[in-house]
């Protein structure tokens, strides 16, 4: 899908304004250390940012590098991850990741897409997040929430598997600005959380509304939360 330049500019501009005004400023967003960025992305899976925020400082004080994760007792890791839920799975996943990083990559997080997706538990979203937030590459990050915003605004059908939706990723790539692409990605993530929720939509206060396909075709107006 080729997006007309004015629509791209409008979308980017509104996301930029929204992020400047209402973006969330989590500690990890100021972080560019690949170890911390990768681990944080893994911690953020299947939980809320608020919960990760609660354990963030303590966790990285205890596990400041791959060596600490490798030598950690599973019982201790489970205890330290309990607040996020799924602590058994997370403990296993982090242990496996630390092992592969040590054996195959000399404790260095790969800086290529192929290297990242070859790691256990690292898929398209996480690989792009590490490349963008740690290595400063202009990469889109698309999870189900970001996908929802793009699909509503551009009038695309919902998708079953976001990771395999090539047109959606291509669209997200086209929308990246030349600079400040980290903030752009954070902005869409926060916009999805605060304005264009799965159930709660705030269309009447949404800066994207004038050109949003979902809203201008009457859907948003019918939502009781709009």
Can you give the binding site for ligand SF4, defined by CB under 6 A? 149, 152-153, 195-196, 201-203, 206, 208-209, 212, 214-215, 220
Q: How far is the CB of 139 from ligand SF4 (least distance, A)?
A: 22
Count CB-CB contacts under 10 A for residue 18: 19
Nearest distance from residue 67's CB to ligand SF4, in Å? 44
Q: Per-residue DSSP letters for 81-150?
A: HGGGS-HHHHHHHHHHHHHHHHHHHTT----SHHHHHTSTT--HHHHHHHHHHTT--------HHHHHHH
Say how many C-beta atoms besides its own lie within 10 A of residue 2's C-beta.
Answer: 8
Q: What angle do CA 141, 143, 147 make, to 5 degrees?
A: 95
Q: For ligand SF4, which is the closer residue by CB, 23 or 220?
A: 220
> Which of 10/113 has CB closer to ligand SF4?
10
Burial class of residue 220, CB neighbours in 10 A (0-12, 13-18, 19+): buried
194-203's contacts with Cβ under 8 Å and 24+ in sequence apart are 194/22, 195/18, 196/148, 196/149, 196/152, 198/145, 198/148, 199/225, 200/225, 201/225, 201/226, 202/226
- From the CB of 6, what's the least distance to ligand SF4, in Å? 17
When the beta carbons of 23 and 110 are compared against ligand SF4, the nearer one is 23
Q: Give the shortest CB-41-to-ligand SF4 separation in angstroms.
A: 25
- Report the 10 Å Cβ neighbour count for 204: 12
- Of the two residues 118 and 226, which places its CB atom closer to ligand SF4 in the complex? 226
CB of 42 to ligand SF4, least distance (A): 29
The smaller minimum CB distance to ligand SF4, of residues 153 and 186, is found at 153
When the beta carbons of 161 and 205 are compared against ligand SF4, the nearer one is 205
Quote the least distance from Cβ 148 to ligand SF4, whole Å: 8
């Amino acid at each position: 899908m080729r997006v007309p330049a004015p629509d791209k500019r409008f979308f980017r501009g509104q996301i930029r304004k929204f992020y400047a005004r209402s973006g969330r400023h989590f500690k990890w967003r100021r972080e560019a250390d690949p170890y911390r960025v990768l681990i944080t992305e893994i911690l953020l899976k299947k939980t809320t940012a608020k919960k990760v925020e609660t354990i963030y400082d303590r966790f990285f004080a205890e596990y400041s590098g791959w060596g600490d994760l490798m030598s950690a007792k599973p019982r201790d890791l489970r205890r330290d991850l309990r607040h996020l839920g799924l602590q058994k799975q997370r403990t296993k996943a982090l242990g496996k990741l630390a092992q592969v990083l040590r054996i195959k990559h000399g404790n260095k997080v790969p800086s290529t897409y192929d290297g990242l997706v070859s790691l256990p538990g690292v898929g398209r979203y996480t690989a792009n997040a590490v490349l963008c937030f740690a290595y400063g590459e202009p990469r889109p990050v698309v999870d189900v929430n970001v996908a929802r915003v793009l699909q509503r605004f551009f009038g695309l059908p919902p998708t079953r598997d976001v990771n395999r939706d090539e047109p959606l990723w291509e669209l997200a790539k086209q929308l990246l600005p030349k600079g400040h692409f980290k903030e752009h990605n954070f902005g869409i993530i926060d916009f999805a959380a605060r304005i264009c929720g799965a159930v709660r939509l705030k269309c009447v206060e949404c800066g994207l509304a004038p050109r949003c396909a979902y809203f201008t075709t009457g859907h948003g107006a019918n939502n009781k939360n709009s």
